[in-house]
Amino acid sequence: MYAAFRSIGAYVPTKVLTNEELSKMVDTTDEWITKRTGIKERRIAAVNETTSDMAVKAAEKAIERSGIKKEDIDMIVVATISPDYFNMPSTATVVAHKMGLDKVTAFDISAACTGFIYVLSIAKAFIESGMKKNVLIIGAEKMSAITDYTDRGTCILFGDGAGAAVICATEDKSEAITDLHTAADGSLGDFLMTPDGGTGNPHQAELKAEASFIQMKGNETFKIAVRTLTNDVVEILADNNTKASDIKHFIPHQANYRIIKAVGDALKLEKEQVVLTVHKYGNTSGASIPMAMNDLYEEGKLEKGDLMLLDAFGGGLTWGSALLPFAGK
Ligand SMILES: CC(C)(COP(=O)(O)OP(=O)(O)OC[C@H]1O[C@@H](n2cnc3c(N)ncnc32)[C@H](O)[C@@H]1OP(=O)(O)O)[C@@H](O)C(=O)NCCC(=O)NCCS
């Protein structure tokens, strides 16, 4: 049995936060943000809109496009670092309940911006082992809830949204997810972190609200992201005897245009091969790859059989890549 990437869906909040608006909140300019990140605007969820609300909307679209019935979903895995509740219940169980799927296996995983690659690897493993048949994977983030809007080093980067995909069992090898890499280096955990909210910090009561916001060593993260991702994508292509020119769509995690360009240039990819949404959504962490893929799909540019290369890098530190054909109905 193989695992096929059957369908994609996404949800994008309506409120837009532009660089101009941010430049009135912190000491920055549209020119600086555009030049250093490629971001022009990002979406912000409504105050009462939760991560699970966005996840459900993305999931409903993905299921509608998958050719399977909602009731045939047997597992839901959500990648998020901005869950509805930090300890329990998991966002995946909230999503399952909101969708009327109370008997499925449901859990969250925490791999920050690499979350979607991690949930994809989990879906593949469960399907290939024969344990599950139709897995709903979701990357959903309300990053605005954990972002410090007085810190110009981070608040310019992040946005909200959700993306979802249905991964199905298939006997057709041409539909199979080809390969996946997932990795982590915990020694660099302090490059990107939210220090509050866990047993890792013994001084909970004394912490200020800012401690639950993202703290980032931006420049150090940037350099290691470029180096690590470049090596990783070269490796996954070589391992699978695939040339960069065989890739129809390179769909990278949308953190910074300069990171995407550096990796694309290292592979000598043409502009048409590289999917870019960072200018309009910013960095939506675990949601960014499926949101970008959904845009491609809705523009009519993603067709059955198209070979996709995904890559991502984020807190943990974690990183990964995936090589797979789109197996849409
Ligand atoms: C955050 C990031 C855009 C900063 O860009 P950079 O080129 O590395 O910039 P630096 O952090 O070296 O800062 C350069 C200068 O710009 C300033 N600066 C930082 N943010 C600024 C902002 N929003 N507006 C204006 N100036 C800013 C810094 O204070 C620094 O000033 P100094 O030289 O006087 O000290 C970039 O490092 C990045 O994208 N990092 C990776 C982020 C990421 O991918 N995170 C998630 C993992 S996926």
Pairing of strands 307-314, 249-252: parallel
Q: Give the separation between CA 236 and CA 32, rounded to whole angstroms.
A: 34
pLDDT digits (tens, 9 = 90+) for 98-116: 999 989 999 999 999 999 9
Chain mean pLDDT for the chain:
96
- 28, 152, 219: which to mutate for ligand 1, most atoms within 8 A of CB? 219
Structure tokens belonging to residue 32: 């600086």
The predicted pLDDT at position 204 comes to 64
pLDDT digits (tens, 9 = 90+) for 273-306: 999 999 999 999 999 999 999 999 999 999 999 9
- Residue 248 in contact with ligand 1 by CB distance below 6 A: no
Taking the model in full, what pTM does it have? Answer: 0.96
Neighbours of 179 (CB within 10 A): 16
Peptide bond into 325 cis (omega under 30): no
- Residue 316 in contact with ligand 1 by CB distance below 6 A: no
Pairing of strands 15-18, 179-184: unpaired
- Residue 153 in contact with ligand 1 by CB distance below 6 A: yes
* Helix (H/G/I), strand (E/B), else coil: 252: strand
Between the CA of 161 and the centroid of ligand 1 the distance, in Å, is 23
Q: How many residues does the chain have?
A: 329
Active site residues: 113, 253, 283
Q: Give the separation between CA 55 and CA 163, rounded to whole angstroms.
A: 7
Find, among 289, 283, 281, 288, the residue nearest to 310 by Cα: 289
